[in-house]
Structure 1
Amino acid sequence: MVRFRFACLGILTGLLTLSGCGGSSDLPSLGTVDGVVKLDGEPLEGVQVTFAPADKEGRVSFGMTDDSGYYSLKYSNNARGAVLGTHEVTMLTPLPGDLMPDEKFVERVPKKYQFESTLIATVDEGSNEIDFDLESY
């Protein structure tokens, strides 16, 4: 499971990196997206936030939470934001690069917000502030 998770995050990150190759004229209409992620009222640090268009049209956008739970989405290496419309939102704790073989990885995000998340967000034109107050139970 840990290898599968690592492979998925690697593939998604690679796709984000490759998507930065086109010129800015190739970009669809984007809205900037920023917000704060909390778990049981406390900021959730070091979590990857992913917005995937619900209609499966357009690329996925990613952001990483800082120590205050703040994230900002990137569409590509040279564009901030996400395509306009409804998105399925997932969150995961990326595997640390320095995890030793005898160490156990601890996922901080409850399963209900991971790969089969029911979180939905709408990105509008302009600036969007989208906060998430997650619950561990």
Structure 2
Amino acid sequence: MQATTSHPIGYWLIVGLLAFSFGCSGDSIDPEYKPVTGTVTLDGQPLANAQVSFVPFEAGSSGAGFTDQDGVYRLYYAARRPGAKMGENKVFITKEKPLTSKRGEFSRMSESDLELLPARYNRRTELTANVTDQTNVIDFELKSK
């Protein structure tokens, strides 16, 4: 005589959900996005704590990251996936000025008063970058004047 085991529907539901979650892990990388890294300098010196954003000309998620103390950045999209969308991207680089104003003066400051870099790198960016299906090391040599 052969024994049969019956499992409640909830058991199969849990097994199915576990299989789905392992198959659709949040760490999977979209094939349209490729890792991007590089260095940002200002007047020949590494630019630390600057935000670098790649915004695709075509539809898609932006890639963004911050430079470290050596001016090196790595881009991430969808919160924590490494990379930026392949193709032409508009690039925005921002760096806030350290605040040294007195209390209450902050409300009288304009956006340009708070930005260290010229507008041609952020609000009116002239920067673009092409992300390809290979290693993407894209450096930016910015000038303050």
For normalisation by structure 1, the TM-score amounts to: 0.71
The yes-or-no answer on 1:117 pairing with 2:125 is yes
SS at match of 1:112: helix
Q: What do you get for the CA RMSD once the two structures are aligned?
A: 2.5
Query: How many residue pairs align between the two structures?
Result: 113
CA displacement 1:2-29 (0-9 Å, x = unmatched): xxxxxxxxxxxxxxxxxxxx84568352
CA contact (8 A) 2:97 2:116 kept: no
Change (3 A) 1:47 1:23: same
In the TM superposition, residue 51 of structure 1 has moved relative to its aligned partner by 0.1
Which runs of 5 or more structure 2 residues have no equivalent in the other structure?
1-24, 107-112
Alignment of 1:1-137 (within 5 A): 23=26, 27-55=30-58, 57-94=59-96, 101-102=103-104, 106-137=114-145
Runs of 4+ in structure 1 displaced over 6 angstroms?
A: none
Identity %: 36
More strand by share: 1
Structure 1 SS opposite 2:123: coil
